[in-house]
Amino acid sequence: MKITDIKTFLMQAGSPPSGAWAANYGTIATGWRNWLFVKIYTDAGITGVGECSGWPRVIETAVHDLKPVLIGENPGNIEKIWQKMLAAIMGHGMTGTVGGGAMTGIDMALWDIKGKALNTPVWNLLGGKLRDRVRIYAHAKTPEVALQLKAAGITAIKAGGTSDPVRMLEDLRDAIGDEMDLMVDLHGPPWLTVSDAIVLGRRLEPLNLLFMEDPIPPEHVESYARIRDAVAVPLAAGERAATIWGERPLIERDLVDVIQPDTGRAGGITQMKKIAAMAESHGIMLAPHSGSLGPVAEYAALHVMAAVPNALMLERVEIDWPGRAEVITPVPKQVDGHLAVPDAPGLGVDIVEDAVARYPSQMNVGMGKGDYEPGTENEFVYVQTKLRRGKYFKGK
């Protein structure tokens, strides 16, 4: 079998910002984003589908740049093709998410082709499955949304954003009780300083969080050690890195309890399996990032999570944009806060090309529009000491 062609499908997912929400937050908090799917074609008539994140519109060009590397190759030699792609783009940088995203979608499609050619699901090619379903967690900032998700069977909730986090998390814990897991994502901008992350982490200790995510900027890897030494809350990070080399510092230095590679840009199923193994050797659990990701990468995550022992949970934007269900077939089955592991050959999913074409790409950068208010999410300084600490870190 030989690869004959590769095509890309770029689309706009989510709803554009409107009303007061748009006035206050612009596009950054609305989930309005690009999805990029790829399809690889072979002379055997088998096609494979994949998804790329990490700046999708830019990656679309990167995927077409890689076409000459792929044409004529046997799609079954996935590791060889992955290494060829890495060598081909080496001059552009090794661990970036644009290159990682391009290789991810292609790698994912190659696993899909291999599974279809061998008439077996991808999880079977990864060593077989440990589980028939994968636990998911959803996002909630208010008790109302958390209880709505709880009633729908969700068993773990994550709150994002850094404004008044102690009070928000106390309210959430009071609402959902101790039977559900609760997490926080402290990502910026503005990102917290190490001191603020330590003070905040100590305030959150009584809430028994499953993890505290991205307490400081991902570039400050060495500072995770200071937080870890000072705070008894499990740490999670890794969504903004790509490949084993991007995730390696967090794992190798035992800086996190949970590693969160993004299934759309970490380097594909090939890299996800290796990252999971590296994490396993350090007792670190895997909880793939999927905040802005689309539904094809979610299928890839399900196959990886089915086949690795240290699978914790899969992130899912629940409640997401309804169009998510239009652009793929079949839609994954969600029962009791879990997604069923697909059993069809390959990834078990395909894109609906007509539906994708109905949502052309418009824009894909985060645009803040709020007032320039020091120390809040509306101040777009990358790292900012939290002001009014007495209020924000006090809680109830």
Complex with Mg ion: residue 185 or 196, whichever CB lies closer: 185
Please give the Cα distance from 190 to 377 (Å, whole number). 6
Complex with Mg ion: residue 112 or 185, whichever CB lies closer: 185
Distances (CA, A) of 289 to 136, 205, 262, 338: 11, 23, 4, 16
- Catalytic residue flag (residue 220): no
Please give the Cα distance from 304 to 128 (Å, whole number). 10
Under the binding rule (CB under 5 A), the answer on residue 185 touching Mg ion is yes
Rounded least distance, CB 357 to Mg ion, Å: 30
* Total chain residues near Mg ion (CB under 5 A): 1
Complex with Mg ion: residue 185 or 377, whichever CB lies closer: 185
- Catalytic residue flag (residue 187): yes
Alpha carbons within 13 A on the beta-carbon side of 247: 34
Please give the Cα distance from 312 to 181 (Å, whole number). 12
Complex with Mg ion: residue 51 or 185, whichever CB lies closer: 185
Rounded least distance, CB 89 to Mg ion, Å: 26
| Pair 385, 41: CB distance under 8 Å | no
DSSP 8-state symbol, 341 = P
- Among 178-186, 261-269, 277-285, 320-328, the segment contacting Mg ion (CB under 5 A): 178-186
Catalytic residue among 139, 289, 303, 338: 289
Under the binding rule (CB under 5 A), the answer on residue 315 touching Mg ion is no
Catalytic residue among 187, 220, 282, 303: 187
- Among 50-58, 182-190, 276-284, 334-342, the segment contacting Mg ion (CB under 5 A): 182-190
The length of the chain, given as a count of residues? 396
- Give the CA angle between residues 358, 359, 361 to the nearest 5°: 140
Please give the Cα distance from 172 to 192 (Å, whole number). 22
Rounded least distance, CB 312 to Mg ion, Å: 14
Please give the Cα distance from 140 to 279 (Å, whole number). 28
- Among 172-180, 183-191, 216-224, 324-332, the segment contacting Mg ion (CB under 5 A): 183-191
Residues known to be catalytic: 187, 289
> Which residues contact Mg ion by CB under 5 A?
185
